[in-house]
Amino acid sequence: MGRKRDYDALTSDDIQWLRALQPSTTVDIQITTPTSPKRVKTQYIGMDAPHGILFQVPNSPSWKFTRDLLTPGNNIVVRYVLEGGVGHVIAFRVKVIKLITKPFGILITTFPKSLQTFGLREEKRAQPGIAVDIQTAKPQGDTKIHGIIVDVSSKGCRVALAIHPDYPLFEPEENITLQYESGGKPISIEGKVKNKNSDREHHYYGIRFAENQSTVHKLLEKHILIEQ
């Protein structure tokens, strides 16, 4: 019997999630470093299953430090959101195989051994992201605004809210407070709305965290997808 290959552990659902990732989709890449993880956004190019996956790496000067981290064997975590009514965060870990810089930048990684999926829809709450309540300066009455953090970094996060007639629409530069529980204790994080987009079922808000909040570190430490 031959040696079991890494990709043999992927389920049929895992394969479907990977195939749903379209070329030019923006992905979040988290790179392992000796100090703290480095996170950048780039574009997915394609895959050669089961050999590897390709991502765009710009040759711009601002990416020099990031390119220096993409050494063969280094671990990276890839995350992306499938929207358009699907509403799932997908995350997987791979290793760098090679970084090509000429004639243009391409990162080649191993094929993932497994995937993590986090559902956004009501019926998928068995595998949620980070559930939060949202407070604003606007009068809310008795309505509690519930959301899901679908992506998070030290600077901010992306929050999905189901389209609901009682939920207000947040405006750019509006101050909000995210609240969640950790170990039975309430945790609050202050932030500001920076952008918004929507699909048929959700509004997605980009939130920038206020600076110097110890609660942000706690959020990253306990809930970041695929622990380092």
Please state the separation of Cα 201 from the chain's center in Å. Answer: 19
What residue spans define the domains of the chain? 6-119, 129-223
**Cis peptide before 139, with omega less than 30 degrees from 0?**
no
Give the CA distances from residue 101 to residues 44, 89, 194, in Å, rounded to whole numbers and listed in that order: 16, 29, 33
Residue 119 has phi, psi (to 5 degrees) of -80, 150
Angle subtended at Cα 119 by Cα 114 and Cα 121, rounded to the nearest 5 degrees? 160
Distance CA 148, CA 180 (A): 10
| Bridge partners of residue 179, in order along the sequence | 133, 188
Q: Is the pLDDT of residue 121 over 60?
A: no
Res. 120 pLDDT band, cuts 50 70 90: very low
pLDDT value, residue 165: 85
At 118 the pLDDT is 63
Q: Dump pLDDT digits (tens) for 37-67.
A: 788 889 999 999 889 999 999 988 889 999 9
Q: Identify the pLDDT of residue 224.
A: 52
pLDDT higher than threshold 80 for residue 159: yes
pTM of structure: 0.56
Q: pLDDT-based confidence at 8, cuts 50/70/90?
A: low
- And the tokens for 228? 């380092």
Between 156 and 182, the more confident residue is: 156
Q: Is the pLDDT of residue 7 over 70?
A: no
Alpha-carbon span 63 to 60, nearest angstrom: 6
**Mean pLDDT in residue range 19-31:** 88
Residues 129-223, CATH architecture? Beta Barrel (2.40)
Q: What is the mean pLDDT of residues 85-101?
A: 83
Span 6-119 CATH architecture: Roll (2.30)
Helix residue ranges, H only, 56-99:
64-69
ω into 34 cis (within 30 of 0): no
CA angle 157–158–160, rounded 5-degree value:
140
Q: What pLDDT shows up at residue 62?
A: 86
- Under the phi-then-psi rule, with left for phi > 0, alpha for psi from -120 to 50, and beta for the rest, what region is 73? left
pLDDT, position 200: 81
pLDDT at 140 > cutoff 80: no
Residues 119 and 91: their CA atoms lie apart, in Å, by: 12
pLDDT score recorded for residue 107: 97
pLDDT-derived band at 228, boundaries 50, 70, 90: very low
Least confident of 94-103, 157-166, 180-189: 180-189
Rounded to an integer, what distance in angstroms lies between the CA atom of residue 8 and that of residue 33? 29
